[in-house]
Structure formats: C-alpha cells, structure tokens
Amino acid sequence: MRHPGLRGPIKHISGRPHPRNRHGERYDFVALVKVCPELSRFVIVHPCGGDTVDFADADAVKLLNCALLKAHYRIENWDIPPGYLCPPIPSRADYVHHVADLLSGGHPDQIPRGAGVQILDIGVGANCVYPIIGSAEYGWRFVGTDIGRVSIDWARRLIATNPVLKANVECRAQSSPSDIFAGIVQPSERFDAAMCNPPFHGSAEEAAAGTLRKLRNLGVASGKTPIRNFAGQSTELWCDGGEAGFVRRMIFQSTKFSRQFLWFTALVSKRGSLPAIHGALHAVRAVDVRTIPMAQGQKQSRMVAWTFLNPSEQSEWHGRRRL
C-alpha cells in the first residue's frame, strides 16, 4: 500500500513474532529457574496449564527478565533502579531482529554481523536492553543515548559489570532535551541504523490511565493498590505530543544527518500515530519508507523505517561495510 505523495513505497508485512526471536514459544521455566533460582518463588500455575508468573508483580517480572537475559544473552548482572521501566524482552527482541532484516538489504542470508555494524539507540534507558540483545545476537556495536542522568549512569554500570558488553556498547548523555541527534552524532560517524522506542503517552495523566488499563487486563482488582510492573520515569513514558510528536521531531531532525545513517527506525505502538508520521516522512521527501507490523501475544505494534539514500547509495553503503 502506498501513502499518497511518498517517493518510496511503504511496505506492510504481516505481523507475527519474528522467526529468529528466541521467545516465540512459552517460557521454559525449568530452564529459567536453573539459571536464576530466585525466580522459583514467583512461578505459579497458569490457568490454561503450565507455568507462568504474575505479570502485575514487579519483582516477578524483573526476575523473569534477569533469567531471560542470563539464559539467552549471557548477561550475569542485570537490574534497574526502583521505579524505572522494566521492558518485555520478547517484543524488544522482535524489534532488533526486524532491524537486522532491514540491514540485510532484502537478503536474509546476508544479515551483517560484527562490530563493523554500528547502531544508535535513542533513549537507551537504565535497562540497556536493545544493546544487550543486538550485541549478543549479531555482535553489533551500539551507542546508547538518554536525557536521564540516572539512566545513563545505570546503563554504564550494567556495561561495566558484564564483560560481554564492554567492547560493544557505549553510552552518551544527551544534554539538550529538544535534540535527538545533535550533540550525540559526531561529524565523522556513520550508523547503519537508529533505533528508538519513543515515549508512548502525551501526558502524565494519559500515562497513568494507560497503566490502569494494563493492570485491569491482567486481572488486578479495581480499588486494589497494585504492585506495579508498568513503572517508568516521566521521560520514559510520556512527552509533549506523545509518540507521534516524538517521531515527527525525530524525522525532521534526521534530515540533517541523512548521509550518516543507512536507516532511521522507530517503534510505533499506536496505529493512530501513523498518519502524522507518514505525513512528516512525505514532507521531508524520504526516499524509502517501510511500516513493518509486529505482534507479541495481545500486543500489536509496528516499526517505521526510513532512509534518504537511494538504492545505488544503499548498495554502496553495503559494499563499503564488506571491505
């Protein structure tokens, strides 16, 4: 389906868990408890059979993440500060794998691997999850950015205490909340992709209402004070204009760095955000635009990707990487 006026096509691909995602099936709690024994006290029987955890329990979800990262990504030490975002690992892995497909240039057997591939993670957060997954799965090098000093300091601590991350992950503090690339990307740097999981909501009130909806979906009784797993600081959860506003700013600011990136990408949770985002991409005359649906359980999202490089320039970029 083509968005009116766009020079490049918008390619829609049917949403399903990515075939390379290690978390496409139900969790193996026997294996997870083996690498993280503390998780055992949170494992309960699922109403439909098998094991699960209470996903409204912050401690249970954090320990599940610890076990997943240790079992699948060789992360021995992972934690987040109290009240910070605890990300769902399967959906984060999906995003990384779709970026890998994008970088393959349409050749799944030619996904670029190794530290010669450099990714900018905009809003790395205290959890540092995209660099963890991307460096483990593909050996990519990451530069993570954030406007939160606590997030940057915590992410740096994770890197320092996990030897598998030290060579491949660097964190840079963004001192200007209004800038996304300026002040971070140096004139001589080239990135194969930018990744971003933008703040979802447009206000603190909207973020609080979203948390209550998620808790209701998990069966937390109305009026009961919930044990939150949907934590997050204000910069993680909301910004003026919500995700559509943030991605639009990212799009307009990306034009100044159009020759330094092969692809720009952003995770978009709300289908209703797409018209404004596609309109901005039309305004900046992006050469190629792709909207790739993703699905994890009941959660539906999509990755929007754009580039200012024409096919010949993209081929040249790939060829230079192979040298």
One digit per residue, the tens of pLDDT, for the chain of length 323 reads 334 334 444 444 444 789 999 998 899 999 999 999 999 999 999 888 899 999 889 999 999 999 999 999 999 999 999 988 899 999 999 999 999 999 998 888 899 999 999 999 999 999 999 999 999 999 999 999 999 999 999 999 999 999 999 999 999 999 999 999 999 999 999 999 999 999 853 444 554 444 444 444 545 443 444 444 444 445 544 457 789 999 999 999 999 999 999 999 999 999 999 999 999 999 999 999 999 999 876 678 999 999 999 999 999 999 887 65
- Collapsing DSSP to helix, strand or coil, 231 comes out as coil
Residues in CB range of 34: below 8 A, 6 or more apart: none
User: 219 in a domain, yes or no?
Assistant: yes
In a domain, 33, yes or no: no
CATH number for position 116: 3.40.50.150
Closest C-alpha to 91, from 254, 298, 232: 298
Range list of H helices, 84-162: 89-103, 129-138, 149-161
Asked whether residue 2 is domain-assigned, the answer is: no
Q: Is residue 299 part of a domain?
A: yes
Q: Does residue 140 belong to any structural domain of this protein? A: yes
What is the reported pTM?
Answer: 0.86
Domain for residue 54, yes or no?
no
**Res 10: pLDDT:** 41
pLDDT for position 208: 46
Domain with 140, as residue range(s), is: 10-24+87-322
Report the distance separating Cα 308 and Cα 102, nearest Å: 14
Q: In Å, how far from its chain's centre is CA 2?
A: 26
Q: E strands, 26-69, where? A: 44-45, 51-52
In a domain, 198, yes or no: yes
> What value, to the nearest 5°, has the Cα angle with vertex 185 and ends 167 and 305?
90
* Paired strand residues for 194: 120, 264
Tell me if 56 is assigned to some domain: no
- The one-letter amino acid at 134: G
d(CA 247, CA 306): 12
Count how many domains the chain has: 1
Give the model's pLDDT for residue 219: 53
